[in-house]
């Protein structure tokens, strides 16, 4: 019985920690794309014009790490 309670508490703690750490990363990612937004829904990074979806994919691959307008 005690083992079950401990397992449930560990899983609940893991889920709570995961939620808090995931929020910080997504807000950092969104702020980077917002800084490169051209005001019409497109992104300008390193002189390239791309759609928001293309920029999110490039960011997920790590291609937008150090960028400029």
Contact between 45 and 36 (Cβ < 8 Å): yes
How confident is the model at residue 64, as a pLDDT? 78
Percent of the chain at pLDDT exceeding 70: 78
Residue 7 forms part of a structural domain: yes
Q: Phi/psi of residue 63, each to 5°? A: -80, -15
User: Which structural domain range is residue 56 located in?
Assistant: 2-61
Mean pLDDT, to the nearest integer, of 30-38?
78
Query: What's the structural domain count of the chain?
Result: 1
Percent of the chain at pLDDT exceeding 90: 16
How confident is the model at residue 13, as a pLDDT? 92
The tens digit of pLDDT for each residue in 4-32 reads: 999 999 999 998 887 776 655 555 556 77
What would the two tokens of residue 43 be? 């992104």
Only one residue has tokens 């917002």, namely 34
What would the two tokens of residue 11 be? 């899983």
Residue 17 forms part of a structural domain: yes
Residue 66 forms part of a structural domain: no
Residue 35 forms part of a structural domain: yes
Residue 67 forms part of a structural domain: no
pTM over 0.85? The answer is: no
């Amino acid at each position: 019985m005690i083992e079950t309670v401990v397992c449930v508490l560990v899983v609940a703690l893991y889920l709570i920690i995961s939620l808090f750490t995931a929020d910080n990363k997504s807000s950092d990612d969104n702020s980077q794309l917002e800084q490169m937004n051209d005001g019409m829904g497109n992104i300008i990074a390193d002189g390239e014009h791309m759609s928001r979806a293309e920029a999110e994919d490039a960011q997920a691959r790590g291609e937008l790490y150090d960028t400029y307008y």
